[in-house]
């Protein structure tokens, strides 16, 4: 398969998945007992007023039509209602929250900084810690250090993040009074406060994810260290340090980077639990607020946004992989 054809296939998959996900989301939320029109209609809610509200919100049409309007709105923007009393939702329009009187895109944009700060900082931390620990464990295979690191990793994999987060708050926040236990300060306002508020959430997220990377890096490293090219490199008299860092680690890193991109994508879509534990107003918190208020347009918008990030991260991984490794293109799928 040529590179162009490969890219086209992956892109088509991306479009297909996003359309399917948005449709599923729509189909699902239509079933919600909460009727946004009913909520917005006010009292007394006469049948006529309800009808007007439904027409205004576009709820008088079939699910498929509503969904198609939504998809179109992402590219062209939408206008709810007609001239005189209309609401504009500029593109990319992910819907309009009538409960909050704001376009969903705007609401997400207002929260995304928190989630991005949380996700990117944690990701950098866990990548360094996880890959470092995994490489050390592989090089020192069979030693007490290896065993200890691996038991530590499986413990980390097993610990629920909210539990670790709460214990961290208890220890470092309340008992030692070292770091703030909740809230978020924008980077632009005060970079120091920003980092200070994020230290604990970063550590918690990173600690747990690092465990997965430790295990993956270790097993990949062991495979690479046992392969012929490493033997050749050693036979040539290259220092062990160089063999490990320049040869083995570089190849072992490929699957690690893949996983990293996927994880980061998933995190950017919202860190629901971490945001809840540390009371941070990110995209995940927005979602939970939407659930609490059964704000259907907001629920749909956030879900589609999250799905888009995950799918794009998947695509990015596939593309980078396909460009780097011709075998992937030939084999078609990698998963």
Footprint on residues 72-91 left by another protein (CB under 8 A): none
Q: Which stretch binds another protein (CB under 8 A): 15-23, 68-76, 105-113, 187-195?
A: 15-23
Please give the residues from 25 up to 44 whose contact with another protein meets the rule CB under 8 A: 25, 28-29, 31-33
219 in contact with another protein (CB under 8 A):
yes
* CA distances, 41 to each of 38, 50, 103 (Å): 5, 6, 19
Angle at 60 between CA 57 and CA 64, to 5 degrees: 100
| Cα distance between the two ends of the chain | 17
Which of 107, 129, 272, 280 binds another protein (CB under 8 A)? It is 272
Rank residues 53 and 290 by Cβ distance to another protein and give the closer one: 290
CA-CA distance, 268 to 206, in Å (whole number)? 14
Residue placing its CB nearer to another protein in the complex, 28 or 190: 28
CA distance 206 to 126: 4
Closer CB to another protein, residue 56 or residue 296?
296
Within 246-265, which residues bind another protein (CB under 8 A)? 254-255, 258-259, 262-263, 265
With contact defined as beta carbons under 8 Å apart, do 274 and 118 qualify?
A: yes
Q: Does 223 bind another protein (CB under 8 A)?
A: yes
Q: Which stretch binds another protein (CB under 8 A): 1-9, 38-46, 106-114, 169-177?
A: 169-177
* Contact status: 1 vs another protein (CB under 8 A): no
**81 vs 296: CA distance, rounded Å:** 18
Q: What gap in Å lies between CA 119 and CA 313, rounded to an integer?
A: 14
CB atoms within 10 A of CB 252: 24
Tell the smallest beta-carbon distance from residue 237 to another protein (Å). 26
Q: What CA–CA distance (Å, rounded) separates 61 from 273?
A: 35
List the interface residues with another protein, window 139-168 (CB under 8 A). Answer: 141, 150-151, 154-155, 157-163, 166-167
Query: Measured from the CB of residue 48, what is the shortest distance to another protein in angstroms?
Result: 29
55 binds another protein (CB under 8 A): no
- Kindly tell me which of 57 and 277 has the beta carbon lying closer to another protein: 277
Asked if 230 touches another protein (CB under 8 A), the answer is no
The two tokens of residue 130 are 């996880």
**Interacting positions 174-213 with another protein (CB under 8 A):** 174, 205, 208-209, 212
From candidates 6, 127, 306, 329, binder to another protein by CB under 8 A:
306
Using the rule CB under 8 A, is 105 a contact of another protein? no
d(CA 317, CA 160): 27
User: Can residue 111 be called a binding residue for another protein (CB under 8 A)?
Assistant: no
289 near another protein, rule: CB under 8 A? no
The answer to whether 276 and 162 are in contact (CB under 8 A) is yes
- Residue 79, classed as helix, strand or coil, is strand
- Asked if 319 contacts 7 with a C-beta cutoff of 8 angstroms, the reply is yes
**Are 284 and 274 in contact, with CB atoms under 8 Å apart?**
yes
């Amino acid at each position: 398969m040529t590179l162009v054809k490969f890219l086209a296939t992956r892109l088509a998959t991306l479009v297909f998945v996003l359309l399917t996900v948005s449709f599923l989301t729509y189909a699902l939320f239509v079933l919600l007992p909460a009727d946004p029109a009913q909520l917005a209609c006010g009292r007394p809610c006469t049948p006529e007023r309800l009808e007007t509200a439904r027409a205004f919100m576009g709820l008088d049409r079939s699910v498929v039509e509503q969904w198609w309007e939504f998809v179109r709105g992402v590219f062209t923007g939408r206008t709810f209602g007609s001239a005189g009393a209309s609401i504009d939702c500029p593109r990319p329009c992910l819907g309009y929250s009538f409960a909050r009187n704001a376009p969903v895109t705007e609401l997400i944009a207002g929260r995304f900084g928190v989630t991005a700060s949380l996700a990117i900082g944690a990701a950098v931390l866990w990548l360094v810690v996880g890959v470092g620990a995994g490489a050390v464990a592989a090089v020192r295979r069979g030693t007490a250090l290896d065993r200890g690191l691996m038991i530590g990793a499986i413990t980390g994999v097993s610990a629920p993040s909210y539990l670790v987060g709460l214990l961290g708050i208890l220890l470092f926040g309340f008992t030692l009074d070292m770091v703030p236990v909740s809230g978020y300060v924008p980077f632009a306002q005060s970079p120091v406060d920003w980092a200070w508020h994020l230290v604990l959430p970063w550590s918690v997220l990173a600690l747990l994810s690092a465990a997965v990377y430790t295990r993956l890096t270790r097993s990949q490293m062991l495979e690479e260290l046992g392969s012929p090219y490493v033997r050749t490199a050693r036979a040539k008299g290259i220092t062990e340090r160089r063999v490990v860092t320049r040869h083995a680690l570089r190849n072992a890193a490929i699957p690690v980077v893949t996983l990293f991109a996927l994880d980061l994508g998933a995190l950017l879509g919202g860190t629901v639990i971490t945001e809840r534990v540390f009371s941070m107003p990110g995209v995940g918190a927005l979602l939970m607020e939407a659930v609490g208020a059964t704000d259907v347009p907001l629920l749909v918008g956030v879900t589609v946004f999250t799905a888009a990030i995950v799918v794009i991260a998947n695509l990015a991984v596939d593309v980078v992989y396909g460009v780097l490794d011709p075998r992937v293109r030939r084999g078609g799928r990698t998963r």
